[in-house]
Copies of this chain bind each other. A is one copy, B any other.
């Protein structure tokens, strides 16, 4: 789940967050608000490249977190002020399912307190997109890189040079 929305220019960041979540094997992303038609963009990516990744818009963050807890998910809030990922990753990995919360402009205090883990991917300022990618990568021990996206219109054939895309 991504909290809040900074301003219009943020759409690009939101799109990156959606596509990273999808590519790294998340089931869905929850967005509090969007300006542009991000769900349509993601739908198009699913149709072209496979998978059933979902974008859910407008559910209040508190509700999403409560529901996640009821489903037995551990809540991982990414923040540069949190505990180092490398100290907690084994514990997080042992959870059956997780909800990852990525901050927006101002993160309300209840997020820090409701989260099972407040986790820092380095204690340096950088990018919620990078932090999310590293978390999903580490939690899945890199297995997400081998993920098969099933039925798709196009498929990339990895190559040492150039671009090979086939219809499938």
Contact = CB atoms under 8 A, between A and B. Distances in A.
A39 to B, nearest CB: 16
B156 A120 contact: yes
Nearest to A142: B86
A59 to B, nearest CB: 23
Given A12-B9, A133-B133, A145-B122, A83 B19 contact: no
Instruction: Choose among A121, A132, A134 the residue with the greatest number of B CB atoms under 10 Å from its CB.
Output: A134
Interface stretch (A27-35, A61-69, A91-99, A158-166): A158-166
Given A12-B10, A161-B118, A164-B81, A127 B124 contact: no
A129 interface: yes
A123 B80 CA distance: 29
Interface range, A side: 35 or more
Given A123-B156, A147-B122, A81 B20 contact: no
A132 B126 CA distance: 12
A25 to B, nearest CB: 9
22 contacts: A10-B12, A16-B127, A19-B126, A23-B125, A24-B122, A49-B124, A80-B156, A81-B156, A81-B162, A84-B145, A86-B145, A86-B146, A118-B161, A123-B155, A124-B149, A127-B133, A129-B129, A129-B130, A130-B130, A130-B133, A133-B134, A137-B137
